[in-house]
């Protein structure tokens, strides 16, 4: 004898829908469990991430500040010099973020060298000491307390961008660099060519929006030998901010997270490329806060007008940057006002 609910189409559909939702719930639980296993996030960690309002993160004056470092990597000389130095500052009051570019060529009397060598010297003293040294020196320059550090080698940077399908960058100023280094040819003898031209290639960027893969984006942020203003460290810092903003926009694209497999791929590329002194729970909490924050824009801050380049004769022929006022006090005041 047939069940009564089978005699009513809506009853059957309701039952079918309930079973379907139950199956989806089981699949969702399985996927969440797989994701937690992949990221090494525990259930208590997940609870802390969901419930925290940021009070468990290190902070000062209503902000959590993170030092972002980018290096060339590899085995060649100077592979751990940080060509990219940026401060990511999150404000709990305004629920917004700022990016502060710190030129790598600023001279540090503490180091008796440029600030991009701080990580290197810290690692020489003790494994893992690079972060502490870099934070101390950059904080000395900017007056901003730094709570965490994140570093990435350029190869990993390319991988992350390729994994998310590339990024759309608004090229603010076009330029040509005929001396962009070719990866793997740093020590090529070039068959005796005294100019070592085989080590370089020409890259061209045209003003306007461009979809970039990892290699293209890396060339955009690393280029140092363009004519005019675009060949300066300040221009490179600006381009680095543009690429980070484009990558942030990509992370907010639902297509990047449309499946567990896609999430796994993005997480794996980030996990391989990025090193940090933040715990997974802290990364999750900051990620949640950032996701809920104002997404349309990130304030981009630079202080190049407060710096000057002295005669290279004073620094053994090296190009360095110094504060115009003779001390970093004016920079401290300027950045404090900008962040407020």
Q: Name the pLDDT band for 47 (thresholds 50, 70, 90).
A: low
CA distances from 158 to 21, 201, 272, 332 (A): 39, 18, 12, 33
Predicted local distance difference test score (pLDDT) of residue 201 = 93
DSSP 48-69: HHHH--STTS--BTTEEEEEEE
Return the higher-pLDDT residue of 287 and 91. 91
- Please determine, for residue 11, whether its predicted confidence score (pLDDT) is greater than 90: no
Residue with tokens 């990221």: 39
Is 29 in the same domain as 101? no
- Residue 280 structure tokens: 């997974």
Is 59 in the same domain as 113? yes
Domain that residue 8 falls in:
4-39
How many residues are present in the chain? 340
CA distances from 76 to 110, 197, 204 (A): 26, 18, 26
Cα 55 to Cα 328: distance, rounded to the nearest angstrom: 31
Q: How do residues 18-32 score in pLDDT, each as one tens digit?
A: 444 444 444 444 445
Long-range contact list for 228-231, CB < 8 A, 24+ apart? 228/175, 229/173, 230/173, 230/175, 231/175, 231/177
Cα 181 to Cα 187: distance, rounded to the nearest angstrom: 11
Cα 279 to Cα 95: distance, rounded to the nearest angstrom: 22
CATH number at residue 57: 3.40.630.190
- Residue 209 structure tokens: 């929006």
Is 29 in the same domain as 58? no
Lowest-confidence region among 48-52, 195-199, 265-269: 48-52
Q: Which of 6-20, 22-36, 55-69, 319-333 shows the highest mean pLDDT?
A: 319-333
Residue 178 lies inside a defined structural domain of this protein? yes
- Residue 186 structure tokens: 């740093």
Is 25 in the same domain as 62? no
Is 170 in the same domain as 67? yes
Predicted local distance difference test score (pLDDT) of residue 71 = 83
User: What does the mean pLDDT of the chain come to?
Assistant: 82
Predicted local distance difference test score (pLDDT) of residue 295 = 56
Q: Which of 180-194, 208-222, 281-295 shows the highest mean pLDDT?
A: 208-222
Chain-centre distance of CA 175, in angstroms?
23
Q: How do residues 131-141 score in pLDDT, each as one tens digit?
A: 999 999 999 99
* CB contact at 8 A, 157 and 218: yes
Lowest-confidence region among 190-204, 282-296, 302-316: 282-296
Q: How do residues 314-327 score in pLDDT, each as one tens digit?
A: 888 888 999 999 99
Return the higher-pLDDT residue of 262 and 50. 262
Residue 46 lies inside a defined structural domain of this protein? no
Predicted local distance difference test score (pLDDT) of residue 196 = 85
Is 133 in the same domain as 192? yes
Count of domains forming the chain: 2
Q: How do residues 100-117 score in pLDDT, each as one tens digit?
A: 999 999 999 999 999 999
Give me the percent of the chain exceeding a pLDDT of 90. Answer: 36
What would you report as the CA-atom Rg of the chain, rounded to the nearest whole angstrom? 24
Residue 270 lies inside a defined structural domain of this protein? yes
Is 35 in the same domain as 55? no
Cα 67 to Cα 104: distance, rounded to the nearest angstrom: 13
Is 181 in the same domain as 123? yes
Is 88 in the same domain as 33? no
- Please determine, for residue 56, whether its predicted confidence score (pLDDT) is greater than 50: yes
Residue 44 lies inside a defined structural domain of this protein? no
Q: How do residues 209-252 score in pLDDT, each as one tens digit?
A: 999 999 999 999 889 889 888 988 888 888 988 888 888 888 87
């Amino acid at each position: 004898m047939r069940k009564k609910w089978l005699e009513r189409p809506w009853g059957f559909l309701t039952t079918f829908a309930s079973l379907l939702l139950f199956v989806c719930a089981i699949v969702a639980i399985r996927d969440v469990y797989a994701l937690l296993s992949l990221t090494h996030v525990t259930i208590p960690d997940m609870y802390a991430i969901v419930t925290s309002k940021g009070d468990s993160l290190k902070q000062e004056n209503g902000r959590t500040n993170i030092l972002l470092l980018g290096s060339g990597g590899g085995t060649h000389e100077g592979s751990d010099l940080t060509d990219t130095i940026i401060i990511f500052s999150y404000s709990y009051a305004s629920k917004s973020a700022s990016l502060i570019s710190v030129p790598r060529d600023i001279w540090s009397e503490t180091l008796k060298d440029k600030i991009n060598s701080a990580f290197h010297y810290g690692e020489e003293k003790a494994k893992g000491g690079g972060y502490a040294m870099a934070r101390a020196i950059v904080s000395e320059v900017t007056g901003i307390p730094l709570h965490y550090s994140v570093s990435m080698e350029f190869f990993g940077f390319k991988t992350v961008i390729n994994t998310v399908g590339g990024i759309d960058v608004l090229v603010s100023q076009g330029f040509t660099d005929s001396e962009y280094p070719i990866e793997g040819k740093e020590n090529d003898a070039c068959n005796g060519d005294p100019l070592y031209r085989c080590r370089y290639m020409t890259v061209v960027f045209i003003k306007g929006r461009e979809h970039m893969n990892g290699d293209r984006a890396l060339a955009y942020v690393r280029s140092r030998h363009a004519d005019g203003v675009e060949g300066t460290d300040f221009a490179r810092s600006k381009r680095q901010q543009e690429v980070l903003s484009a990558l942030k926009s990509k992370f907010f694209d639902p297509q990047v997270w449309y499946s567990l497999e896609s999430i796994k791929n993005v997480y794996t590329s980030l996990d391989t490329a990025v090193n940090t002194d933040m715990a997974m729970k802290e990364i999750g909490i900051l990620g949640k806060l950032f996701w809920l924050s104002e997404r349309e824009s990130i304030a981009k801050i630079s202080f190049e007008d407060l710096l000057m380049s002295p005669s290279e004769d004073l620094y053994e022929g090296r190009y360095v940057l110094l504060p115009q006022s003779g001390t970093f006090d004016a920079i401290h005041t300027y950045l404090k006002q900008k962040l407020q």
